[in-house]
Structure 1
């Protein structure tokens, strides 16, 4: 407990943009999020008042960080489970716990567990990928079982020659895809669950570039089914905090589970302006066991566009912001304090309105100005 405010202290392991935006939500709740960052240059370390420098895989650093925290949570899934269990055994509260988090850390474990529970998934194997490809037909999707994100560790294998050696993989059939969706929910220790509207995520080169809320033209029964899947997974795994379930909508109208994330997620960044309670506030409410917030949209159409780093040179980011705000004053900009590298997520923009197509056009234009500089 923070004796200055009388409020509990939340610590977040990881100093990236998720911690940065969670810190912003914490301020409104009277808190300053405590952050464990690898570097003082990390995005959250640039803005939070209470920052400890240390690694997420160093038990001594985690142990020191957890001192004085009422609850510890995560902005990524890379903290080894045995370290989480060690801290829990010493009396610290870590949410989500290692028993739940393992299914977001390891795709094989996730597929095995959800498959045993009857959840819908693509056909897959963790065994002989060549035999699997021969059975379901090439090409197939190959994923590293651990460590992949933003398109890394996921690729299309056209033949056995494309299957990597020396790493644990999961092979999946290439499903007939209409689009990708995301179901985001939050769950408290008491079991209260709040679900956000189902969104469509648009991918390019394995990276999410755009999120549309609500998913345009999604059948109401399918939307309810997607929310129910996420709620059932969160409840069954005992997740506390935000859970994002990435989904495939197939051309024949089925929903298949792609991946899980147990933390605030890129597919719900739109909620900062586009929902009555942002996913970041909701995550804090959940891990503190506060009642969940209202998840309704604040506008009929909400579009978030990720801002990816472009080639070096050209206009400064400050000049680009001048042009962006002059051309699109309604766009809400979130920059993450990251060094710019080609293809790296350095921020996002959100546009609200009454028409989805118009919001998409405006959001894309705003992101383009930040990525490439202003062009008439």
Structure 2
């Protein structure tokens, strides 16, 4: 017998770990398909087993007893998702939506059909085609890239040859942008949507380093446009749960859609401590078709700082040091071993003055990551 508040989650990373935090309060039971016994989410979700998300039998085992299946990542084969749906275990988002997060060429084609503003792009198969498209440009592998992986900035023919050897077949214009923004929307099958404040994300070596919510000095019309793009995409693609739309804001005041994710996203982690309803709770509400919660900010400003693997190996032992210096910091560790550049946690600081909040978040982050304050 299936339970209306039972959910299968595929993938055992930190997103699934934080879904469990929201699930506890809602009384939602999660069964987890994990990649290994010690991955981030398996440490906190009792009902888990180790399996392969490309194996339909493992997916069936995870879905047993649940009418809904959702994801920590977007890599489950579409044919398996269709099989689960036919057997009464509805993937949310469904395969027709998720393919746009799995395949960048499919995404770009659909965004053009929807007249969503995006960078100029083309499918390329040779260095000559890259040159014809125009240098400099960005080359991407259509599937599987994340956190800067599978992405090459190409300025010469030799750069293009190297990227094509790495399976890049999608060329995009190298956008001269002012900053990167992210617009998030939660949506349930009944059609209800809730948008979150548009945020600014700041990158370091291709990895999101910090997020400011809301994006400072963002014109009201651009904020509304970004949120409307997110709603239109969610509705057109029939997304359920959370959708994050990452965009470039150009110097001449345009928005261009870069990529998106159909799940909770790094740019929404601030909402755990900075919004009335976190992105993780609204993702669970959305996929289970429960009424969505308000996204109202709980403070004027929230800054989320990603903690990457650095000089501190014993993160848990460093927590007291951080809280002694910045007691208002909200720390979230992912239970991961420390490796250079690896996302091992994040923290959030909220408050009324942006400069103060930003400085305090950076201070706490530097102490947790490297054991010393910035500067």
Tell me whether the two structures share a fold, i.e. TM-score over 0.5: yes
2:152 matched to which residue of 1? 155
Q: CA deviation at 1:116?
A: 1.7
Structure 2 counterpart of 1:95, from 92, 95, 102: 92
1:274 matched to which residue of 2? 274
Conserved 8 A contact 1:84-1:97: yes
1:21 equivalent to 2:18? Answer yes
Q: Distance in 2 between matches of 1:132 and 1:323?
A: 54
1:349 equivalent to 2:355? Answer no
Conserved 8 A contact 1:54-1:61: yes
Tell me which stretches of 4 or more aligned residues in structure 1 moved more than 6 Å: none
Q: Distance in 2 between matches of 1:373 and 1:98?
A: 44
2:244 matched to which residue of 1? 244
Per-residue CA distance 1:95-126 (angstroms, 9 max, x = gap): 10000000000001100111122110011111
2:223 matched to which residue of 1? 223
Q: CA deviation at 1:374?
A: 3.7
Q: Distance in 2 between matches of 1:232 and 1:297?
A: 23
Structure 2 gaps, min length 5: none
Conserved 8 A contact 1:129-1:171: no
Q: CA deviation at 1:370?
A: 1.1
1:69 equivalent to 2:60? Answer no
Task: Output aligned runs, 1:11-90, within 5 Å.
Answer: 11-90=8-87
Residues 354 and 84 (structure 1 numbering): CA distance in 2 closer, same or farther, change over 3 Å?
A: same
Q: Distance in 1 between matches of 2:263 and 2:126?
A: 30
142-151 or 159-168, which deviates more: 159-168
Over the aligned positions, Cα root-mean-square deviation in angstroms equals 1.6
54-63 or 134-143, which deviates more: 134-143
TM-score by length of 2: 0.95
2:112 matched to which residue of 1? 115
TM-score by length of 1: 0.95
Q: CA deviation at 1:341?
A: 0.7
Per-residue CA distance 1:136-185 (angstroms, 9 max, x = gap): 64221111100000111112011122122262521111111000000000
Q: Distance in 2 between matches of 1:149 and 1:17?
A: 15
Q: CA deviation at 1:133?
A: 4.8
Q: Distance in 2 between matches of 1:134 and 1:222?
A: 33
Q: Distance in 2 between matches of 1:166 and 1:209?
A: 26
Conserved 8 A contact 2:5-2:27: no
Name the SS for the 2:264 alignment partner. Answer: coil
Q: Distance in 2 between matches of 1:82 and 1:168?
A: 24
Conserved 8 A contact 2:244-2:265: yes
